């Protein structure tokens, strides 16, 4: 059961204690207070977990601080979009709002290879006003003989360079709990010049112990990449593992599905699921066109398949674009064939802006009453 409190009720309001006291009267029920930071307002929700089947709604509904009470039967208890829940499960991190309304682009290196490339990448972002990026330090590779990422030693210069170029958030994959400790220490030692969004890669999508671990820590939000060979429902349940441990700051990233039916793309592009995830849950949705398409092949119209896949995700309402760039893709130690070059960043962002405008127009038009749309010649 979810008890949604009236807008802008503060965490220390006595009304919250009243709800908790009332919940305590029901045996086998535990209450957990949850703050949802929306872009326009913050919402407080109290989850009643356990044997709630016989708990009546009315006594909670009658309390002054309560806006409404929702009984949930659906699977995604925390992240799901339950009946009556309109606000998306957004959050603020490093002064940036991530929710189902906003759009950010995070271009960066698939894998850190040297300091110079990191600097060049961040400088290119800064020049174009981009404050979100990606940098892989720990790489889960199919073959043990492939480059495994530079790991801990590269963190100090990655964070220092990010601070120098005003990068606020870096998406960085971890494959083991100890990587969080390493990131924590390196960030502290550098004086926290930037922030990290911890990425759970597709290969760890059902590593439940790792999911619970990132759910228990509160410092970093989580970018969860859809499992490449599991259903959407299984991936959403995996996100629920993170949220149920206490960290609801999660973005789900679509990155294509593994099947040879997607050939010649690396993975079968699944961006038609952007609106589906936004309907089923309140999480912001990210798309990763680079790992979906897997090459920078150019089409007959002069646009790469990566541009087209990006456009498909953005026109469907994606909230974050995670995309591989590299100053010298031929020298990249991981996924060079899918990296765009730095001089392609500006036109790529311009292309996204065109498509985002189209999405905003489509959304406005859909929200108008049907008569208005007809009179507008639709
Ligand atoms: C990545 O983003 O570098 C990556 C390895 O992605 P995925 O887990 O989607 O393969
Ligand atoms: Mn990669």
CB 286 within 8 A of CB 70: no
In a domain, 374, yes or no: no
* 136 C-beta closer than 6 A to ligand 1: yes
CB 315 within 8 A of CB 359: yes
First to last CA, the chain: 42
Residues 292 and 358 in one domain: yes
Residues 84 and 118 in one domain: no
In a domain, 224, yes or no: yes
In a domain, 63, yes or no: yes
Q: For the chain, what percent of residues have pLDDT higher than 70?
A: 94
Average pLDDT for 25-33:
91
Could you give the CA distance from residue 68 to residue 84 in angstroms, rounded to a whole number? 8
pLDDT of residue 39: 55
In a domain, 264, yes or no: yes
pTM score of the predicted model: 0.88
* 172 C-beta closer than 6 A to ligand 1: no
CATH of the domain at 55: 3.30.70.1140
Residues 275 and 340 in one domain: yes
In a domain, 370, yes or no: no
* 291 C-beta closer than 6 A to ligand 1: yes
Average pLDDT, the chain: 93
Residues 109 and 85 in one domain: no
Average pLDDT for 301-324:
98
Residues 139 and 273 in one domain: yes
Lowest mean pLDDT among 14-23, 206-215, 307-316, 353-362: 14-23
In a domain, 110, yes or no: yes
The Å distance, Cα 257 to ligand 2 centre, comes to: 14
Residues 132 and 277 in one domain: yes
Residues 109 and 57 in one domain: no
Q: pLDDT-based confidence at 73, cuts 50/70/90?
A: low
For 49, the domain range is: 2-89
Residue 199 has, within 13 A of its CA and on its CB side, a CA count of: 27
In a domain, 94, yes or no: no
The Å distance, Cα 202 to ligand 1 centre, comes to: 6
For residue 38, give the nearest of 73, 85, 104, 105 by alpha carbon.
Answer: 85
Q: pLDDT-based confidence at 363, cuts 50/70/90?
A: very high
Residues 303 and 251 in one domain: yes
Residues 123 and 251 in one domain: yes
Average pLDDT for 179-200:
98
Number of independent structural domains in the chain: 2
Domain end residue (candidates: 89, 115, 135): 89
The Å distance, Cα 333 to ligand 2 centre, comes to: 10
Of all ligands present, the nearest one to the C-alpha of 175 is 1
pLDDT of residue 372: 56
Residues 182 and 115 in one domain: yes
């Amino acid at each position: 059961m979810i008890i949604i409190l009236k807008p802008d009720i503060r965490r220390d309001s006595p009304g919250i204690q009243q709800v908790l006291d009332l919940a305590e009267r029901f045996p086998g029920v535990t209450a957990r207070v949850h703050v949802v930071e929306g872009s326009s307002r913050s919402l407080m929700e109290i989850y009643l977990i356990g044997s709630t089947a016989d708990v009546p709604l009315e006594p909670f509904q009658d309390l002054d601080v309560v806006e409404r009470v929702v009984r949930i039967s659906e699977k995604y208890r925390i992240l799901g979009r339950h009946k009556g829940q309109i606000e998306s499960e957004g959050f603020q991190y490093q002064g940036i709002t991530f929710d189902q309304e906003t759009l950010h682009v995070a271009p960066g290196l698939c894998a850190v290879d040297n300091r110079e490339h990191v600097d060049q990448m961040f400088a290119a972002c800064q020049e174009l006003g981009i404050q979100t990026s990606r940098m892989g330090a720990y790489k889960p590779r199919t073959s043990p003989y492939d480059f495994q990422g530079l790991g801990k030693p590269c963190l100090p210069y990655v964070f220092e360079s990010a601070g120098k170029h005003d990068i606020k958030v870096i998406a960085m994959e971890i494959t083991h709990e100890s990587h969080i400790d390493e990131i924590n220490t390196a960030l502290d030692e550098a004086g926290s010049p930037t922030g990290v969004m911890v990425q759970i890669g597709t290969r760890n999508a059902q590593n439940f112990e790792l999911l619970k671990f990132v759910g228990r820590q509160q410092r970093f939000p989580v970018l969860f990449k859809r499992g490449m060979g599991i259903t959407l429902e299984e991936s959403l349940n995996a996100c629920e593992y993170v949220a149920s441990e206490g960290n609801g700051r999660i973005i789900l990233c679509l990155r294509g599905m593994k099947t040879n039916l997607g050939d010649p793309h690396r993975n079968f592009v699944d961006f038609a699921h952007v609106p589906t995830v936004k309907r089923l849950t309140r999480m912001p949705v990210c798309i990763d066109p680079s790992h979906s398409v897997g090459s920078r092949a150019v089409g007959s119209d002069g646009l790469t398949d990566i541009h087209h896949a990006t456009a498909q995700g953005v026109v469907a309402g994606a909230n974050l674009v995670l995309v591989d760039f590299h100053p010298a893709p031929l020298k990249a130690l991981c996924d060079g064939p899918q990296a765009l070059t730095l001089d392609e960043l500006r036109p790529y962002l311009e292309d996204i802006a065109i498509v985002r405008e189209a999405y905003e127009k489509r959304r406005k038009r859909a929200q108008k009453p049907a008569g208005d749309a007809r009179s507008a010649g639709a």
